[in-house]
Amino acid sequence: MKALVYNGPHDVSVNEVPDAKIERATDVLVKITSANICGSDLHMYEGRTDMESGRILGHENLGVVIEVGPAVDRVKVGDRVCLPFNIGCGFCANCEKGLTGYCLTVNPGSAGGAYGFAGMGPYSGGQAEYLRVPYGDFNCLVLPRDSEEKENDYVMLSDVFPTGYHATELAGVQSGDNVVIYGAGPVGLMAACAATLKGASQVMVVDTHKDRLQLAEKLGAIPIDDTEGDGVEKIMALTDGKGADCGCECVGYQCCNMHREEVPNLTMNNLVQTVKATGRIGVVGVFLPEDPGAADKLAKKGQIAFDFGQFWFKGQSMGTGQANVKAYNRKLSRLIEHDKVNPSWIVSHELPLADAPEAYANFNERKNGWTKVVLKPGK
């Protein structure tokens, strides 16, 4: 089959690789029809992880079931399914509680499993013609009848829609709240969408890219361009000097964190400043635990400097980590089915798999107009 393979930093290619196949009785085999490129893929792409060369990338996948293992009895051949990026077993202590991002079976001793991701188990990604789905009965979200015509909406259930939603859960967004969101990438835009769905009174979205801020504005959020004046001052003015009720971090890794350890993290510090005393901060941006390229730089592995003193003094609290996609996606799927939300509004490019290397380069540069790429391996 054809698949997008990681060769090394800034080097991916579409190669002929052995077909994905059923390996265990509980597996499901899916023919991929949509596979997104995610901001998280860029951590591998830019060489910030210990990703082995030759691995297939892609954790935002949707497709049609073409084969099921002998122990699979819920999912059927022909079902159209969206695959949460977390791989869970369904029966460990964390999965039992809905914390499928932290499954204790699929990647023992670490932090959960995912398709095509460094440090999250040996699982291949879905930027390919076929994908093996472990524990298929548990990990396939069977989609409703309108899934073919709304494929670009439903594929967002694999990650960015539930992740944006998770950011607002971690931040404790309530109806009437004013909310500040750092990052207008796909995740930040989805967090703004989730905050709006929850009835936030004011959603302020901070970024440095005008095209992405325009999408936030389309949604009804207040765009704050950090290249034009002091975003922190603007947020304080918009909240009568009190700060927002809560905030979301949807940026993660920023160059200065890793290259110069004395430089504090911008978004975390800005959130501590712009969220009111006792407010909650939801951090879904990924701060990598290690930087393999750091040996020649000043970086310390995994240490992110931010103003903990001010955070403590304001009595703020914080929630962090991967979205437990499965905990949300049944309900979020219904919102799509009943046209309450159509997350495909973030899609800027729909491309064949062959164009993936170029798409990676453009998305990595955050080139104007490249917000979200959906690859179509069948085309």
Interaction site with ligand NAD (CB under 6 A):
38-40, 43, 159, 163, 182-188, 206-209, 212, 226, 250-254, 266-267, 284-286, 322-323, 366
> Amino acid identity, residue 342?
N
Return the residue matching tokens 């993936």.
Answer: 356
Residue pair 256/287 in contact by the 8 Å Cβ criterion: no
- Cβ proximity to ligand NAD, 129 vs 226, nearer residue: 226
- Cβ proximity to ligand NAD, 183 vs 243, nearer residue: 183
Q: Which stretch binds Zn ion (CB under 5 A): 33-41, 166-174, 234-242, 358-366?
A: 33-41
102's contact among Zn ion, ligand NAD, none, with CB below 5 to 8 A by partner kind, is none
Closest CA to 345 of 333, 358, 336: 336
Closest CA to 20 of 178, 159, 167, 126: 126
CA distance 233 to 44: 35
Two structure tokens written together for 372: 């979200």
First to last CA, the chain: 13
375's contact among ligand NAD, Zn ion, none, with CB below 5 to 8 A by partner kind, is none
Q: Which stretch binds Zn ion (CB under 5 A): 56-64, 101-109, 164-172, 258-266?
A: 56-64
Cα distances from 157 to residues 166, 168, 277, 330, 337, in angstroms, run: 12, 16, 33, 9, 12
> Amino acid identity, residue 182?
Y
> Amino acid identity, residue 56?
I
Does residue number 62 form part of the binding site for Zn ion (CB under 5 A)?
Answer: no
Task: Please list every residue from 291 through 330 that binds Zn ion, using CB under 5 A.
Answer: none
- Cβ proximity to ligand NAD, 1 vs 206, nearer residue: 206
285's contact among Zn ion, ligand NAD, none, with CB below 5 to 8 A by partner kind, is ligand NAD
267's contact among Zn ion, ligand NAD, none, with CB below 5 to 8 A by partner kind, is ligand NAD
Burial 22-43 (b: 16+ CB within 10 A, else e): beeebbbbbbbbbbbbbbbbbb
Residue pair 229/235 in contact by the 8 Å Cβ criterion: no
Cα distances from 74 to residues 69, 255, 271, 330, in angstroms, run: 11, 45, 44, 16
CA atoms within 13 A on the CB side of 268: 25
Return the residue matching tokens 């990676």.
Answer: 360
- Cβ proximity to ligand NAD, 72 vs 246, nearer residue: 246
- Cβ proximity to ligand NAD, 200 vs 288, nearer residue: 288
Nearest approach in angstroms of CB 372 to ligand NAD is: 8
Spell out, one character per residue from 132 to 161, where the chain touches Zn ion: x when CB under 5 A holds, - when not.
---------------------------x--
Does residue number 40 form part of the binding site for Zn ion (CB under 5 A)?
Answer: yes
- Cβ proximity to Zn ion, 126 vs 243, nearer residue: 126
- Cβ proximity to Zn ion, 160 vs 180, nearer residue: 160
- Cβ proximity to ligand NAD, 131 vs 323, nearer residue: 323
284's contact among ligand NAD, Zn ion, none, with CB below 5 to 8 A by partner kind, is ligand NAD
Q: Which stretch binds Zn ion (CB under 5 A): 39-47, 134-142, 213-221, 369-377?
A: 39-47
Closest CA to 253 of 211, 216, 304: 304
Tell me the residue nearest to Zn ion as measured from the CB.
Answer: 38
What is the H or E stretch that residue 207 is in? strand 202-207
Nearest approach in angstroms of CB 322 to ligand NAD is: 4
Q: Which of 5, 29, 38, 114 is in the footprint of Zn ion by CB under 5 A?
A: 38
DSSP 215: H
Binding site for Zn ion (CB under 5 A): 38, 40, 60, 159
